[in-house]
Structure 1
Amino acid sequence: MKWTTPAMVRLGNLSFRFRPVDLAWVTVLLAGLTAGGMIAAGLGSFPLSWQQVWLGFWGLGEDAMAQQVLWQFRLPRIFAAMLVGASLSVAGVILQSLTRNALASPGLIGVESGASVTLLLFLVLFPGLLPGYLLPLTAMAGGLAVATMIVLLSWKNDFSPLRLILVGIGMTSVLGAVAELLITYGDIDRVESALMWLGGSLHNVGWADVSSLALWFMVAGLPVMLAFRQLNVLQLGSLVATSRGLAQRRALIGLLLASVMLTANAVATAGTMVFVGLIGPHLAKQCCGDRHGILLPLAALSGALLVLVGDTLGRTLFAPLQLPAGLVIALVGAPYFIILMARRRDFSN
């Protein structure tokens, strides 16, 4: 069988078409995530050997200190980085497909701005009003509220990708101005504690955050991956979708809600990482094109690897100083994205 010859796999009533080259890319990315996780688990102020990491992961290590460092600090951060990257990248695929715009990202629908402003309000203006464990949930609620408002304002008679983009840009600009006011005139000590989160930091994540990320990814991400046919049809335009008998309104609402849920949970846990939802889908498209059946899992793996590498570099390059993963990804991703877009003549798909 040739690398590009399609093959069919059936799972009950579902059928999946793939190419051997697709499986090869999945294998490469999974191997990269495994190697990256092993390296990240061993690096830090208390270095661990590969043997200590491997045995400790399976609970076979005899070094109690190594076990504690691995399970209390390293592994939660590694898994959280992967889940944040996967969530933002899948959300980016959804928005780029629905809007048929290669420059769309989760920040387009105001989730990142809504979560950021909500958290800043409680950290800068009302510190101590809520316990720390409720702050991520509060940020998620703010992101969901803003995204819902943008969708409602842009939905006039029918869904318009251009209207969604314009309303999203306007709302994001207003929220960005509010955030700047809070940062500029807020108490310096309170602002400083919020700036690390705003840069996209995984510094204080724990197993509770990992559980929340995994739960929301299963609730919103997995159904999207099974809805790849709807995304393939919607990307062709409303006329084609109607001719294929697709219930567009229901599909659009469901997919937009899934994108909002994935983005809100990731941003509430790790802060704003603008370029992940933008670059992750494009990295996957370099491997498989616009075939959503394989694009969605490849985008999830690409985003997971992107955030894992960014977080590992951020906490080790200038140790003990820790750079936020979002900052590292922006520094590396922005030049790459500029070069990638400069090579394209069509930015509409």
Structure 2
Amino acid sequence: MKKISASSRPIHIKLFPNVSLYARSNDVFWLAFFSLLLLFLLLWGAAIGSYQLSILKSWQIILAPELAPEKLVRVVWEFRLPRLLVAALCGAALAIAGVILQSITRNALASPGLIGVEAGASATMLVFVVIVPGIIPVFLLPVFAMIGGFIVASCVWLLSSLRGYSPIRLVLIGVGITSMLSAFSEMLITYGDIDLVESALMWFGGSLHQASWPQVKVMMFWLLIAGSLAWLCFRQLNLLILGDKVAFSRGVNNRKALPFLLFLCVALTSASVATAGTLTFVGLIAPHIARRFCANRHGALIPLSAVIGACLVVLGDSLGRSMFAPLQLPAGLVLVLIGAPYFIVLISRLRKA
């Protein structure tokens, strides 16, 4: 009889009177580990900056702001904490979107930007910032960027489903439309007004310098709704990654499941891109890191990828604020500079299938 290792023994978690959850002890350990790491990064990020604090002091200000000096409360609660929370929420949203897209396309190199969401949001933002500036209020720009992302993703889905859905067709059409929109964006950047283009480029780099509490609430809403629905579909994702025929034989209706999962991916990506700009690398690398600890078990992969994605963006933003202070580097740029070499090494070490 095969002996069950301690790391694979199921843990029974009773959520509600009639609802129970079974999880592997190894998955619970890594989820708790990265959650504690995220908490540390948030406290560290709240402590560093032009006005240095200790991690213990930042923790005290967060827990009991009424006991701290007003100046320190304003620094932490008005400037640093919203920025860090937006970074964490955007990172988690992009990581979950990356898990969904890599599963439904069965492509390990798929990322949320592959289906044109980021390109559509970026092109929409540039149109309203460079071509027709001032036509809509600044606070509504993320909303229109999200709408642009949804429109482009819908076009990609419709074109890839005209003669029956195919993951390869979805990827190829997404790459084609993304390239066209990227060329259009580059043209606007090249020939647009330099002052208007400069403000747009900060958003393109994944900058979080304008993050505020309303953005925290918007991202939390999208992450809770779309992220929870994605996790509830973990059994369908476990089957879809094995192939359409296997999934169909086990009762998964591809015609209903795929559009719904793609919609969740688009919603998470659009909300993140509209809030923090382009952070494509997170949706690519976070699921790969998570798979090293929980393989393709999506019940654990989705929450673990979300926490790792949050850690990556918080770390990138914190390093961008502190490495060359007072100069601030966008979080997206820092993530690519640090994460790309690691990702190359990670892929090179993977065993051949």
TM over 0.5: yes
Q: Does 1:336 align with 2:342?
A: yes
Structure-2-length-normalised TM-score = 0.95
Q: Does 1:214 align with 2:201?
A: no
- What SS does the aligned partner of 1:16 have? strand
Q: Which residue of 1 aligns with 2:30?
A: 25
Task: From 35, 40, 43, give the equivalent of 2:45.
Answer: 40
Q: Does 1:169 align with 2:175?
A: yes
Task: From 86, 97, 106, give the equivalent of 1:91.
Answer: 97
Structure 1: gaps (5+ residues): none
Task: Report 1:178-257 matches (<5 A).
Answer: 178-257=184-263
Q: Deviations over 1:147-200 (max 9, x none)?
A: 110011001243210000000000000001001100101111111111111011
Cα distance in structure 1, aligned partners of 2:351 and 2:229: 33
Task: Report 1:1-349 matches (<5 A).
Answer: 2-11=6-15, 14-58=19-63, 59-344=65-350, 346=352
Of 257-266 and 23-32, deviating more is: 23-32
Cα distance in structure 2, aligned partners of 1:168 and 1:19: 36
**Percent of pairs identical after alignment?**
52
| CA shift for structure 1 position 242 | 1.4
* 8 A contact 1:52–1:66 mirrored in 2: no
| CA shift for structure 1 position 346 | 4.8
Cα distance in structure 1, aligned partners of 2:352 and 2:113: 22
| CA shift for structure 1 position 10 | 5.0
CA RMSD of aligned residues (A): 1.4
| CA shift for structure 1 position 51 | 3.6
Cα distance in structure 2, aligned partners of 1:214 and 1:142: 21
| CA shift for structure 1 position 54 | 1.8
| CA shift for structure 1 position 4 | 2.2
Cα distance in structure 2, aligned partners of 1:318 and 1:295: 35
* 8 A contact 1:16–1:293 mirrored in 2: no
Cα distance in structure 1, aligned partners of 2:67 and 2:320: 28
Give the number of equivalent residue pairs.
Answer: 347
- What SS does the aligned partner of 1:3 have? helix
Letter in 1 for 2:52: P
Q: Deviations over 1:40-93 (max 9, x none)?
A: 001111222334312221234331100111110011001000000000000000
Letter in 2 for 1:264: S
